[in-house]
Structure 1
């Protein structure tokens, strides 16, 4: 099976039932389902497909691939122990796939609008290597100004924040195109229980650095 066919199998096979549930966003969060067991089944199924069909398993120039596959499954199964909702299932599966850094391996849902999403009143995007405020709630006096450059949050540097909170769930974070496409997710939490909401961040603006306490809603 080619990598493209593998991606199709994931999109149309393993993910069919949960993805269909997302077609009705209002029902996605309330429909009764054992999401812990769903994650176990989907992660185990994905692992089996990769071991059976992915060329990386047989690539002698990539001897670490099998260990990466097994580690991805182990993390997903660990997360299944505490998964209680759609968000836990979805982001755990996204992280599993993202861990391969393979653009041919993708999973998706027809509609992700059913995920409640929180933000602290502003969003950042990449401008070159910097992450700067590009959108803010004008009514929120406690949001950093437009153009302010992110330094760190809770003591974690900006580049590491993005890698851990976006790249780990999107993959191929070494590509600038990924930064451009998904960089504005740093200050959005779409029901992802595997990341915590940052409490305080430092931004640089007009030559001064200031700490801002975040008000998530």
Structure 2
């Protein structure tokens, strides 16, 4: 089990995150639910920066906006995120877990010609190239149609089955149906939703 500890962030006098800590058990999905502007994206970004290069754990980060170059094809985009050689990248794309993303089926397609689902899969591949044990995903289903959402969900379940962990930040309550633990982020503080009565409307609670 890995422990995220003491994440704080402020912009001027505004405290966005207030000493946020939570455990990330192996093979589990952790959900961070909050309304727009609550600091979810900031939290994931801070986690990625704080633990980058730490010997304790490898962390991959998939931001909400696809970090891709429109004019480049998949392998050239992937080379921006790793020290691996092109031959090593191509080999990694043919082995689990990257093979499950199917990047090799559109290797000759520049990003500008990709569908939203293809871009999301390529963004995932960028985060997974260096075999992270924890994957941070910011609004993973934003702008995806239903088939693309189902594909993403299927891959996430597969990734968890390998003993890895996922931390998902979203404002969509439905995203967390498969999460093992859900936290609510409000006013910079994280609350464990498991202590709330069954049937609680999390979004209403966050807005009030």
Is TM more than 0.5 here? no
Greater strand content: 2
More helix per residue: 1
User: What TM-score does the superposition give when structure 1 sets the normalisation length?
Assistant: 0.29
Whichever of the two has the greater Rg, that structure is 1
Larger RCO of the pair (alpha carbons < 8 Å, separation 6+): 2
TM-score under structure 2 normalisation? 0.30
